[in-house]
Structure 1
Amino acid sequence: MSIRRIAMWSGPRNLSTAMMRSFSSRPDTAVSDEPFYAAYLARSGVVHPMQDEVLASQTQDPHQVAADLLGPVPGNKSIWYQKHMAHHMIEGVPLDWMDNVTNVFLLRSPERVLASYAQKREHVTLRDIGFAEQAMLFDRVADRLGHAPTVVDSEDVRRDPRGTLGALCKAVQIPFIEAMLSWPKGQHPDDGVWAPHWYGAIFNSTSFAPPDDNPTTLPDHLRGIADQARPFYERMAAHRQ
C-alpha cells in the first residue's frame, strides 16, 4: 500500500486544529496532534497551560518522535496527517526526517494570530507564534525541492473550503473527498491532552467558519510583534495556493 505522510507546519491559533479535523474525517487518514509538544516543553523550559499533563502524555525524546513519525501508520491507514507547530523545532530536535514526508505550510496573518493567542496566554513573544521558525523550515524544504513547497492560507480555506482543500489535495497527490468539509461536534480521540484549554471553539464546530473580514486592532505591544512577524508571513504567503 502506498503511504502518504503529510506534515502540516503551522503556528498556534492558525486554523490548524480545524484542518486536522478535516483530515480526520477521511476514512483513509490517521491524524497526529503536535507530536513534538512535550519534547519542546522539556527542552525549552517554556511553561504552557496544562504543562504537567502535556509532559506526561507524550515521549519527551524528539529523536523517538521523529522515528515514530516515519514508522507504521496508526490504524494501517494510507494517509497520515501530522499537525506540527513550527516553534516546537528548537535546537536538538531533528529535522532530517522531514525529507521523508510531504511538507505543507499553513499560514494566517500575524495580526489575527496574535489577537486570538493573546486570549489564551497573557504574555506573548514572537517565538510563541512561530513565524520565524516556520519560515526557516519553509526555506529548508524549498532548498531541498528546488522550488517552494505547498502553502495554504487559513483565510482562503475559510472563504472557499471546497476549492482550497481541493487544490491542497491535488498538490499532495491525494483525492479530495466531500467528507473533509465537516466533522462531528466535540472532542476527537486523537486530540492532544491540552485540547480542553485550546480547542473550545473547535469542540463547538462542525465545519470551517466563514472568514472574519473585520479589521484586527491590536494593542501597541502586540502590534510590534505583528510587525516583526509580517515579513516572514508575506514571504511564504507569496507562494500560497
Structure 2
Amino acid sequence: MPAARSGLLFLWGTPRSRSTAFLRMMLERGDHEVYHEPFSSIVVQGHATVGDATATSHAELLKLLDERARDRRVFVKETTEYDYLGNGGEDIPATGVHTFIIRDPRSVIPSHYAMNPDMVCAEVGYGHQADLARRVREASGATPYVVEAETLIAAPAEVIRGYCEHAGIPFLASALSWQPGDHRVWSRTRPWHRDVANSSGFTEPQRTYADTVENNPKLAECYRCHVPHYEFLRAWAAR
C-alpha cells in the first residue's frame, strides 16, 4: 500500500547496507534535497546543518527537517549504529515517511569490522533498526517498507519502481546510473563511501575479508546477536 504523502522521506539502514548507493541515486534524481546521516552527525560532532540552520539535538534536527519539507521534497539517509529514539528522537517514528534497507549480516559485519576494528556489537545496528521499524509501525498503523540490498543489486529497476510507488514519487529510470565521483554530502564519512564514489550504478563490489563471522569469535557473536533482528525485518521485506 502506498505511504501517506509527505515531503519528508527517510531511509534507515545499518552501516554497509548499500544505503549510500541508494542516496547516490536520490542525488541523481535531482528532485529532493538530500541529507546524509544528520542524526549520527549530532552524535559524532554535536551538530548537523539543515539548510541555513544548525541543529544540536535530535529533536531540533527533526523539527528543522519537517519544516524544510513543507515546501520541498526532502530525503534523509541515516544509519542505525546509534540509538536515536532514546536520545531525544522520540518523535522520529511519527514524522515523515520511513523506509528501511537491509543486507545480510554475513556480509555487513565483516565489511563494518574492516572499516572499524574497534566497533562494539551494538554499532552493527540491526537492533536499533528493528526497534525503530517497530515504533514506526506503531505510530503509523502500517508495516514500513523494507528493501533488501541483495534484491536491489539484482533488479534495481524493479525494486526502485516499487519503492517510488510506495513513497508517492515518480520513478526516474535515468537515476539508476550516474557518473563516478565524490560528493560533498557524504564528506564527513568519506572513507566509508569509496565504493559508491567509484560506482556508476547499483553494483556489488567483489570483496573478501580476512575476518568473517565464521572465523572470528567477536564477529560470530555479533552475528548471533543481530541475525534475529535481520530476520524480523526480512520477513517484512518478503511481504
TM-score, structure 2 length as denominator?
Answer: 0.85
Structure 2 match to 1:222: 219
SS of the counterpart of 1:105? strand
User: Is 1:138 matched with 2:133?
Assistant: yes
Structure 1 match to 2:114: 119
Separation in 2, partners of 1:137, 1:110: 18
Q: Is the 8 A contact 1:29 1:80 kept in 2?
A: yes
Q: Name which of 64, 67, 87 aligns with 1:68.
A: 64
Q: Is the 8 A contact 1:158 1:211 kept in 2?
A: no
Alpha-carbon deviations, 1:99-122, whole Å to 9, x = none? 120000110111111111111111
SS of the counterpart of 2:24? helix
How many residue pairs get aligned? The number is 225
Q: 1:211 to 1:198 in 2, by over 3 A?
A: closer
Separation in 2, partners of 1:106, 1:191: 18
User: Is 1:238 matched with 2:235?
Assistant: yes
Separation in 2, partners of 1:80, 1:236: 24
Q: Which amino acid aligns with 1:93?
A: G
1:200 shift after superposition: 1.1
Structure 2 match to 1:172: 167
User: Is 1:33 matched with 2:30?
Assistant: no
User: Is 1:183 matched with 2:154?
Assistant: no
Q: 1:122 to 1:156 in 2, by over 3 A?
A: same
Separation in 1, partners of 2:104, 2:88: 26
Q: Which amino acid aligns with 1:8?
A: L
Structure 1 match to 2:200: 206
Structure 1 match to 2:52: none
1:182 shift after superposition: 1.3
SS of the counterpart of 1:239? helix
1:198 shift after superposition: 1.1
Separation in 2, partners of 1:22, 1:90: 27
Q: What is the CA RMSD across the aligned residues, in angstroms? A: 2.5
Q: Name which of 80, 99, 103 aligns with 1:104.
A: 99
Q: Is the 8 A contact 1:70 1:97 kept in 2?
A: no
Uncovered stretches (5+) of structure 2, i.e. residues with no partner: 50-54
Percent of aligned pairs sharing the same letter: 24
Q: Which amino acid aligns with 1:63?
A: A
Q: Name which of 5, 18, 21 aligns with 1:18.
A: 21
Uncovered stretches (5+) of structure 1, i.e. residues with no partner: 42-53
Q: Is the 8 A contact 2:42 2:48 kept in 1?
A: no
Separation in 2, partners of 1:214, 1:185: 23
